[in-house]
Amino acid sequence: MRLSIARLAKPVLHGYFRSSCSWRVRIAFALKGIEYDQVPVNLIRDGGQQYSSQYKALNPMQQVPAVEIDGVTLSQSLAVIQYIDETRPGQQLLPADPQKRAQVRMISDLIASGIQPLQNLYVIQKIGAEKVQWAQHFLNRGFQALEPILKETAGKYCVGDEISMADICLVPQVYNAERFKVDIEQYPTIKRLNAALMEIEAFKTSHPLCQPDTPEDLR
């Protein structure tokens, strides 16, 4: 059942083109066919626009994304994905089957809590000269755990043959790993799933290199 909520305006996504958490939300919106507006928050320029008082009022953690939707502001990507899944029709992003739903949550949390925070911009800026080695270590550590899990759960996609929140989390994390020169060949299941997902229009159009705030020299 989908909640009945008066929707007065399009959702607004405050995000950054390269943020994996922002990308997750863009993928979810695209899969659901939801139109939304984007407000860029540049994590580099001016010392980081996420640290402005105006943005802090939206997201006290001063991270992206922040999503204004249905009169509320949500600031964690998995919470946003679950909310739109529960309030909008269309493709279901969390399976109805309890076991599959738990597997989707497990994979999503492994990525969103166990991998991504350890190599995000704020953390690696604190690490300094060893930032690449740091990021590679934690990406490999996470993928070494994720690969055998996905061997058990995957069909065409991360959990069976339907796209889910787990897939939404996987693709941006693989993109991050490639940016940090992690050898994805070590993880054949992850590589296969990522390749299949990147054939889907929602994942293509939401890609960091296709966003309004993508720098021209990266397009």
Structure-token pair, residue 114: 């166990």
For residue 162, the tally of other CB atoms under 10 A from its CB is 16
Amino acid in position 137:
H
Residues 56-87: tens digit of each pLDDT? 999 999 999 999 999 999 999 999 999 999 99
Instruction: Flag whether pLDDT at 6 surpasses 80.
Output: no
Torsion angle, alpha carbons of 62, 136, 138, 135, to 10: -20
pLDDT (0 to 100) of residue 218: 80
pLDDT (0 to 100) of residue 8: 59
Instruction: Flag whether pLDDT at 7 surpasses 60.
Output: no
pTM for the full predicted model = 0.94
| Domain 12-91 identical in fold to domain 98-204 | no
Please give the CATH architecture assigned to the domain spanning 98-204: Up-down Bundle (1.20)
CATH number of 12-91: 3.40.30.10
Contacts of 216 (CB under 8 A, 6+ apart): none
Are 67 and 41 within 8 A, CB to CB?
no
H helices then E strands: how many in the chain?
Answer: 9, 4
pLDDT (0 to 100) of residue 216: 85
Mean pLDDT of 144-170: 98
Q: Domain ranges in the chain?
A: 12-91, 98-204
